[in-house]
Amino acid sequence: MTDGPPDAPIRVLIADDQAIIRDGLATILGLLPDVEVVGTAPDGREAVALAVQHRPDVVLMDLRMPVLDGVAATAQLRTDVPDAAVLVLTTYSDDESIVKALRAGARGYLTKDAGRVELAAAVRAVARGQRTFGASVGDAVIGAMTASAPAPDPVAGILTRFPALTRREAEVLGAMIDGLGNGAIAERQFVSVATVKTHINAIFSKLGVRDRAAAIALARDDGKGEG
């Protein structure tokens, strides 16, 4: 979420491949006194780009879109704009669609038969950090989450303990704790060894340590990897 004053509007980005739906949603949400629509996108790739540019609080995300679908875009937003809460708005309420969206990082899931009141309430809920699901998909969500709950995200745990780190730095620290060398980390992250070294130096600075062993020891003392 943004760090604005308590009465700052909820900044919403709308992603849907149908112009009439984008325009309709923008009109509906624009009428709410506590919501500001900061942009609309016809596909997932543009949604991610606009989210990086505008830093919305909530991304209203369709699932079936060209170029980059909603699930892939949601996963990308977890890395590029982790503070943005994704609220899926789709015609699909099958278990597979729900599970994929939740695993990608969606915080809410509505179908397009939701009314204005339900949509507004869902936007406000995910903006507050809550999970929310439409009445028409509630049973499917419960069943899907019970059957296959998403695995915990160790990087999120590192970010919670060391909020000064970026997500990429937290990923590198996690790889260091797992015993990977710079070359292996570079392969895992699809970056150069020089980039890995830059991230490691930033980690040392932010954690106030001088070397790799001290960074790993500090992270483990904070609870990482203790069984």
- pLDDT at residue 119 is higher than 90: yes
> What is the domain-level CATH number for residue 35?
3.40.50.2300
Q: Do 113 and 166 have their domain in common?
A: no
* Predicted local distance difference test score (pLDDT) of residue 8: 86
> What is the domain-level CATH number for residue 185?
1.10.10.10
**CA 5 – CA 12 distance, rounded (Å):** 17
Q: Do 121 and 165 have their domain in common?
A: no
**CA 217 – CA 211 distance, rounded (Å):** 10
- pLDDT at residue 137 is higher than 80: no
pLDDT tier, 223 (very low <50, low <70, confident <90, very high otherwise): very low
Q: What ranges make up the beta strands (E) of the chain?
A: 10-15, 35-41, 58-61, 85-90, 108-111, 132-133
Quick: pLDDT tens for 24-69: 999 999 999 999 999 999 999 999 999 999 999 999 999 999 999 9
**CA 118 – CA 32 distance, rounded (Å):** 13
Q: Which of 147, 175, 199 corresponds to the end of one domain?
A: 147
**CA 43 – CA 104 distance, rounded (Å):** 17
Q: Do 139 and 91 have their domain in common?
A: yes
- pLDDT at residue 121 is higher than 50: yes
Q: Which of 83, 114, 147 corresponds to the end of one domain?
A: 147
In a domain, 5, yes or no: no
In a domain, 226, yes or no: no
Number of domains forming the structure of the chain: 2
Range of the domain at 187: 154-221
Quick: pLDDT tens for 186-214: 888 778 889 999 999 999 999 999 999 99
Non-local (6+) Cβ contacts of 8 within 8 A are 2
pLDDT tier, 136 (very low <50, low <70, confident <90, very high otherwise): low
pTM over 0.75, yes/no: no
Non-local (6+) Cβ contacts of 204 within 8 A are 210, 211, 215
Q: Do 80 and 124 have their domain in common?
A: yes
* Predicted local distance difference test score (pLDDT) of residue 219: 87
In a domain, 212, yes or no: yes
In a domain, 2, yes or no: no
In a domain, 185, yes or no: yes
Q: Which of 112, 147, 182 corresponds to the end of one domain?
A: 147
Non-local (6+) Cβ contacts of 221 within 8 A are none
Q: Do 43 and 26 have their domain in common?
A: yes
* Predicted local distance difference test score (pLDDT) of residue 3: 46
Closest CA to 196 of 211, 216, 181: 181
Q: Do 28 and 134 have their domain in common?
A: yes
Inter-residue long-range contacts of 71-75, CB under 8 Å, 24+ positions, other chains counted: 71/100, 71/101, 71/104, 72/44, 72/104, 73/15, 73/44, 73/45, 73/47, 73/48, 74/101, 74/104, 74/105, 74/106, 75/104, 75/105
Quick: pLDDT tens for 140-191: 565 655 555 455 667 888 888 899 999 889 999 999 998 899 998 988 877 8
pLDDT tier, 101 (very low <50, low <70, confident <90, very high otherwise): confident
* Predicted local distance difference test score (pLDDT) of residue 113: 86
